[in-house]
Structure 1
Amino acid sequence: MDLTSLLIQAASGAIGGNAAAAATKNDALGTLGNTIAGALGGGIGGQLLGPLLGLGGAAAASGLDINAIVTGFATGGVSGALTALVLGFLKAKFAT
């Protein structure tokens, strides 16, 4: 686990969480909640999703190049968006 790729995935997860919440206004956690949920989901999910899809080995072996950055943004953004959406959906369902 590389700290730089973890930070890239957490930042893109925060962006993905806020973008997903903007698309579904009813299931949002608020700006801070979406940012935290997206960053946690992007960091943790990106670390798990990359190796599962076979994207982690090449990025770790080659260092920080454009492929590693794009992979980090893709896996972190997707997993951050999904985490924020799921948590927002659960909040909306259990709040009523």
Structure 2
Amino acid sequence: MNNKNRLANYLEDLWTKGFKLNDDQVRFIYFGKKLTNAPDWKVILSLKTTLQFQQTFDGSFYISLLELLNQEAIYSTKEAYALLKEKGFA
């Protein structure tokens, strides 16, 4: 998958599955990405976890997860899932 469009593709996949984020929510997701300077995979994991736990998009929960993944020395999805499990999210 093209890394440049990975987040956009994930958001489009959510849309086709019936989970429709509004424009403000999408802008906030990209704002969080820019704020934390996170790679797409961390943004997607934070968004996915937010939607699983909150059953809706919760901006503050999403940003908290994104900051958590960026504060820790997390360089792979395996490490990220281990951290989320340690914090009670998995």
> Which TM-score applies when normalising by structure 2?
0.36
Larger helix fraction of residues: 1
> Which TM-score applies when normalising by structure 1?
0.35
Bigger RCO (CA 8 Å, 6+ sep): 1
For the pair shown, the structure with the greater C-alpha radius of gyration is 1
